[in-house]
Amino acid sequence: DKKNTDAYAIKAFIAVYQKRLDEASQLAEKALALDADNATAYHVKGAVALKQGDYDEAIRLSNKAIELNPNIAESHLVQGISHLSKEKYLEAENSVEQALEISPKFAQAYVVQGYIDYSSENDSASSLDNFKKARELFAEQDNSRQVEKVDEIIGILSAKKS
């Protein structure tokens, strides 16, 4: 039943962010056993594959999640990070752009775009702009831990620029 499927998928989603990857994967499998077209469950499995370094599998699962529900910004971001990890910068950029179209205040997507800009073109100005945008959004969300991390990156890029 849909209620149980969604409950498994949401618990799996939370487990990923708590870095309980085995549990997340098992919960996603339970959701998929009840509903083979549960986009959130595919997203979770893609996120787990990404965190385990299986970028091809992360892309495959994210593609499935996006096919089922193109409005899951996080799936586009998992796809983007996976492409970035494989040094496929154009594909990474396209995925991140999709994530930002869906969710314009998705701070983590600006972080990834910053890495793409720096990695693909060594474009520290554009990269710096993206990290500053991410910082602004993290600050709006009162996410001081992420603000500190981004401030560190901004400091490094600013030092290289001068």
pLDDT of residue 162: 64
Q: Specify the amino acid at residue 95.
A: S
Cα separation of the two ends of the chain: 59
DSSP letters for 85-130: HTT-HHHHHHHHHHHHHH-TT-HHHHHHHHHHHHHHH--HHHHHHH
pLDDT of residue 153: 94
Question: How far, in Å, CA of 116 to CA of 89, rounded?
Answer: 6
pLDDT of residue 1: 67
Question: How far, in Å, CA of 118 to CA of 126, rounded?
Answer: 8
Question: How far, in Å, CA of 141 to CA of 105, rounded?
Answer: 10
Per-run averaged pLDDT (10 residues), the chain, 162 residues: 83 89 93 93 95 97 97 97 96 97 97 93 84 97 96 90 66
Query: What is the CB neighbour count within 10 angstroms for residue 120?
Result: 16
